[in-house]
């Protein structure tokens, strides 16, 4: 997906015509990444949830462009994960995670984890939990939990965790897709 197309999608998502609960480009990218990682096919239901309204409520051409843009972005994400290159994210990791693009991305990702808990199971549960920890932490969804509060008080650790998110995504991809021994 070209930068121009990504910018056009971002502008469309930020339009006043979108629901207040519609993902921005960062949340959508995290959402599509999580869908791909857990092997969930992109469907109209997932697209409806991403923009918080049925695609059928949109003008037909607009719905088609949005759906095609999501397919292209999802394919780009899949190709980057498959190629073992570092995935291109829509944010720069930062310890200033609150209300950041990184937080929006991680919240989009975690929405899929919450919606499809059975697809986020793995025989190596401990490894998966460790891999998800940076994303869970940056999402802010667990901010009130004591274990997470300890993490938020360690800026150097947070910086390392958040900087590792691209590699973590590759590791999750490999965990779910590598042949078992």
CATH number at residue 10: 1.20.120
Is residue 181 scored above 70 in pLDDT?
Answer: no
Provide the pLDDT for residue 19: 92
Average pLDDT on 159-171 reads: 96
DSSP secondary structure letter of residue 42: P
Dist CA 42 CA 70 (whole Å): 8
Nearest to 47 by CA among 100, 91, 105, 112: 112
Is residue 132 scored above 80 in pLDDT?
Answer: yes
Provide the pLDDT for residue 110: 99
Dist CA 17 CA 134 (whole Å): 33
Sign of CA dihedral 151, 156, 162, 165: negative
Dist CA 54 CA 34 (whole Å): 21
Q: Structurally, how many domains does the chain consist of? A: 1
Q: For a pLDDT cut of 90, what percent of the chain falls above it? A: 92
Provide the pLDDT for residue 119: 96
CA atoms within a 13 Å half-sphere pointing along the CA-CB vector of 23: 29
Is residue 180 scored above 80 in pLDDT?
Answer: no
Average pLDDT on 138-155 reads: 96
pTM over 0.85: yes
Band the pLDDT of 179: cuts 50, 70, 90: confident
Average pLDDT on 97-121 reads: 97
Q: Which residue range(s) make up the domain with 133?
A: 3-177
Cα angle vertex 117, ends 178, 25, to 5°? 85
């Amino acid at each position: 997906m070209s930068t121009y197309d990504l910018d056009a999608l971002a502008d469309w998502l930020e339009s006043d015509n979108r629901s207040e609960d519609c993902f921005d480009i960062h949340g959508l990218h995290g959402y599509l990444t999580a869908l791909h990682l857990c092997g969930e096919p992109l469907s109209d239901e997932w697209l409806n949830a991403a923009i918080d309204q049925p695609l059928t409520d949109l003008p037909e051409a607009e719905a088609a462009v949005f759906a095609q843009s999501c397919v292209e972005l999802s394919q780009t994400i899949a190709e980057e994960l498959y190629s073992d290159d570092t995935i291109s994210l829509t944010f720069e990791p930062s310890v200033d995670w609150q209300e950041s693009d990184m937080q929006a991305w991680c919240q989009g990702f975690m929405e899929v984890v919450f919606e499809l808990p059975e697809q986020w199971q793995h025989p190596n549960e401990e490894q998966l939990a460790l891999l998800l920890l940076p994303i869970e932490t940056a999402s802010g969804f667990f901010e009130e939990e004591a274990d997470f509060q300890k993490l938020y008080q360690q800026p150097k650790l947070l910086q390392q965790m958040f900087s590792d998110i691209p590699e973590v995504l590759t590791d999750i991809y490999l965990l779910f897709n590598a042949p078992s021994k």
